[in-house]
Copies of this chain bind each other. A is one copy, B any other.
Amino acid sequence: MRFLSSVFSAAVLVLPLAALAQPALQRADLIITHAHVVTMNARREIIEDGAVIIRGSRIIAVGPAALAAQFTALKTIDARGNLVLPGMINTHTHAAMTVFRGLGDDVPDRLRRFIFPLEKNLMNREFVHWGGLHGVVEMIEGGVTTMVNSYYFEEEFAAVVKKAGMRAVLGQTVINFPAPDAPEPYGGLALAKKFATAWRGDPLITPAISPHAPYTVDVEHLRLVATLSAELDLPVLIHLAEMTEEMTLLRKEHAMTPVEFLDSVGLLNRRLVAAHCIFVTDSDIALLKARDAGVAHNMVANIKSAKGVAPALKMFDEGLRVGLGTDGPMSGNTLDLIGQFGYVAKVHKLDRKDRNVMPAIKVVEMATLGGARAIHREADLGSLEPGKLADVIIIDHESTAMMPLFDVYSALVYAASPRDVRTTIIHGQVVMENRQLLTVDTAEVRAKMRDITRRINAAVAAGLK
């Protein structure tokens, strides 16, 4: 006993000395180390052999790989040969429309001839569930950690997104005709109120309301949306300055631009995310900035429909809150942002006839910090910094097209594929690791999608009304 006790005393003596030489390890949950860390912090620091330390839902430290030695965690990811970036924010989509992806491409007047009839006849809660989940899988696989989504049955979709572990701003659609989830025109308004109440305060899901567009929602209902948004501090998602018919209608009926019109009904404010903004004037841009609204730039969808090139570069350079969006998969076909990168960089160069504009770094800024700013979440999202939420993606920079890696932004914008994303972490949870989804049974989703495809094919063959 005496012997043991003296050993014990000696041990006690030694321990503080050891602690002095080697301070106690701090507890973390996840360590990503030996990564090429692209922080997107204010100095746009890149750490070639770096570490990102996560505890719970937050990033607690970012620095050189040596930093990892100060922490202990149950899980450590060795990210050698990989880039680590903040998760990307898709600021405009309609994920459930994956069920219709590839139907009726390359035809005129698609919205009224194809999209609305398909939705009227076929869209339902089941399709929103599985089509939406397929879209969630595609985004997680492509490194999108937050989506801004507008569609029907948004409460159904919220449960799907939450289960998959993705972050989202979800806007229940309000429109002037009977919708798949509301038999009466504008029935979405009541659904939105119910949805907002049910999901208030959720850490991943931010409920929102989505009046479809200034040409499909009348002044009275736009005002009701504005009131509800103010009451519940509800984000408002809308299509804006996108269609020539919209421009003509508002000029004719209100002698206003769409931006001015939204301002007149009380919707142009910090809660708004305006998708497209193709046909905005300089004074519209100034007004969007003064009202601190967010803008979603959807280059691929906008040029596929030959609508035009939004002045997103000008808006971004003037300090507006501009993020990137994919639009729905009937418009832009894919839901990841890496697939937008090259278009954003190159089509603005073509449009401005200047190869020096819209350099690669600006495109990556739009996809991360820009998106965070568009939804007024830049305090929590958009960069890898201590204190921010742990939305982190790991991208293989040794895929053939990404080699050599002289310039990280150039490789990401001009050569990367969404298939190069290896691992996706949202709110501190690893939702995909080495391209395996951990929160979704992808085989089940594929089987459901095959079945839904068969049924849609049969319905289309039988003729839509």
A residues contacting B by CB (< 8 A) are: 98-99, 101-103, 105-108, 110, 134, 137-138, 141, 300, 303-306, 308-309, 333-336, 342-343, 345-347, 349-350, 352-356, 359-360, 398-401, 403-407, 410-411, 414-415, 417-420, 442, 446, 449-450, 452-453, 456-457
Residues of chain B lying within 8 A (CB to CB) of residue A449? 403-404
| A308 partner, pick from B300, B350, B407, beta carbons under 8 A | B350
| A346 partner, pick from B303, B419, B420, beta carbons under 8 A | B303
A404-B453, A419-B399 given as contacts; is B102 within 8 A of A411 (CB)? yes
How many copies, total? 2
Asked whether A404 lies within 8 Å of B306 as measured between CB atoms, the reply is no
Asked whether A354 lies within 8 Å of B306 as measured between CB atoms, the reply is yes
Asked whether B356 lies within 8 Å of A106 as measured between CB atoms, the reply is yes
Asked whether A101 lies within 8 Å of B453 as measured between CB atoms, the reply is no
A306 vs B304: C-alpha distance in the bound complex, in angstroms? Answer: 19
Asked whether B334 lies within 8 Å of A401 as measured between CB atoms, the reply is yes
A137 vs B138: C-alpha distance in the bound complex, in angstroms? Answer: 26
Q: How far is the CB of A335 from chain B (nearest CB, A)?
A: 8
| A414 partner, pick from B105, B141, B400, B414, beta carbons under 8 A | B105
12 A-B residue pairs with Cβ-Cβ distance under 8 Å, sorted by A, are A102-B404, A102-B411, A105-B414, A106-B360, A108-B356, A134-B400, A304-B346, A306-B353, A306-B354, A308-B350, A403-B446, A406-B457
Asked whether A334 lies within 8 Å of B446 as measured between CB atoms, the reply is no
Asked whether A356 lies within 8 Å of B414 as measured between CB atoms, the reply is no
Chain A interface secondary structure, helix, strand, loop or mixed?
helix
Asked whether B134 lies within 8 Å of A403 as measured between CB atoms, the reply is yes
Asked whether A303 lies within 8 Å of B350 as measured between CB atoms, the reply is yes
Q: With CB as the reference atom, state the residue of chain B lying closest to A105.
A: B410
Q: How far is the CB of A247 from chain B (nearest CB, A)?
A: 15
Residues of chain B lying within 8 A (CB to CB) of residue A137? 400
Q: How far is the CB of A266 from chain B (nearest CB, A)?
A: 34
A191 vs B407: C-alpha distance in the bound complex, in angstroms? Answer: 35
Asked whether A305 lies within 8 Å of B102 as measured between CB atoms, the reply is no
Asked whether B106 lies within 8 Å of A355 as measured between CB atoms, the reply is yes
A102-B411, A360-B106 given as contacts; is B457 within 8 A of A350 (CB)? no
Q: How far is the CB of A376 from chain B (nearest CB, A)?
A: 30
Among A303, A345, A349, A446, max chain B CB count under 10 A is at A303
Q: How far is the CB of A199 from chain B (nearest CB, A)?
A: 26
Asked whether B106 lies within 8 Å of A405 as measured between CB atoms, the reply is no
Q: How far is the CB of A389 from chain B (nearest CB, A)?
A: 25
Residues of chain B lying within 8 A (CB to CB) of residue A404? 98-99, 101-102, 449-450, 452-453, 456
Q: With CB as the reference atom, state the residue of chain B lying closest to A353.
A: B306
Asked whether A304 lies within 8 Å of B414 as measured between CB atoms, the reply is yes
| A102 partner, pick from B333, B352, B407, beta carbons under 8 A | B407
Residues of chain B lying within 8 A (CB to CB) of residue A450? 403-404
Q: How far is the CB of A435 from chain B (nearest CB, A)?
A: 11
Among A343, A353, A415, max chain B CB count under 10 A is at A415
| A349 partner, pick from B303, B400, B415, B418, beta carbons under 8 A | B303
Among A102, A343, A400, max chain B CB count under 10 A is at A400
| A398 partner, pick from B110, B415, B446, beta carbons under 8 A | B446
Residues of chain B lying within 8 A (CB to CB) of residue A101? 403-404, 406, 415
A345 vs B300: C-alpha distance in the bound complex, in angstroms? Answer: 11
| A304 partner, pick from B333, B345, B456, beta carbons under 8 A | B345
A101-B415, A102-B411, A420-B419 given as contacts; is B333 within 8 A of A401 (CB)? yes
A300-B346, A306-B349, A306-B352 given as contacts; is B403 within 8 A of A359 (CB)? no
A316 vs B317: C-alpha distance in the bound complex, in angstroms? Answer: 39
Asked whether B401 lies within 8 Å of A305 as measured between CB atoms, the reply is no
Residues of chain B lying within 8 A (CB to CB) of residue A452? 404
Question: 6 shortest A-B CB distances, which residue pairs?
Answer: A333-B414, A419-B419, A404-B453, A106-B359, A303-B350, A306-B355
Asked whether B355 lies within 8 Å of A414 as measured between CB atoms, the reply is no
A464 vs B457: C-alpha distance in the bound complex, in angstroms? Answer: 60
